[in-house]
Copies of this chain bind each other. A is one copy, B any other.
């Protein structure tokens, strides 16, 4: 499957596991909410720095985005 869609699904999963809203994730990651929405739908080709910010916000290591 497309890497963007995979990443988006994983992000959505990790966020929901934490019962966190897109709004809250946007705040913690210092990104904006519509952008988080698009990422979770696999519409955006996010950069390393965005991946890093999201990992920090979710309190995980980057590699966890790419593990089952």
Residues of chain A whose beta carbon lies under 8 Å from any beta carbon of chain B: 3-4, 7, 45-49, 51-52, 61-63, 66-67
Contacts and interface: CB of A to CB of B under 8 A. Distances in A.
A63 B4 CA distance: 15
Given A63-B66, A66-B66, A47 B49 contact: no
Question: A-side binding surface: helix, strand, loop or mixed?
Answer: helix
A46 B45 contact: no
| Interchain residue pairs A-B with the least CB separation, the first 10 | A63-B66, A63-B63, A62-B66, A3-B52, A45-B47, A45-B49, A47-B47, A46-B48, A45-B48, A3-B48
Contact of A49 (B3, B49, B62, B66): B3
Contact of A61 (B4, B45, B62, B66): B66
